[in-house]
Structure 1
Amino acid sequence: MNDPFGQCRSRYRSLMRLRSVTTLLATLVLALAVPATAEATPGSGVTGTIFQQRTVGNTDYVLREVVIQPGGYTGWHYHDGKLYAYVKAGTLTHNSADCGLDGLYRKGAVFTEPSDTVHIGRNLGTTPVVLEVLYVLPHGSPLSQDAPNPGCPF
Structure 2
Amino acid sequence: MKNKILLFGLTLTLASCGSWNRIGDLTTIGNRNVDDSKKYTLLTREVEAVAEADADAMEQAVDNLTKKYEGEFLRNVKVYVKSNGKKVKVVGDVWGTQNTLINVSTEANVKVILNVGDSVVFKRKGKLTDGKIIGVNSNLVIVEYDGNKKVELKYDEVTKTNK
**Larger strand fraction of residues:** 2
Q: Rg larger in 1 or in 2? A: 1
TM norm structure 1: 0.26
TM norm structure 2: 0.25
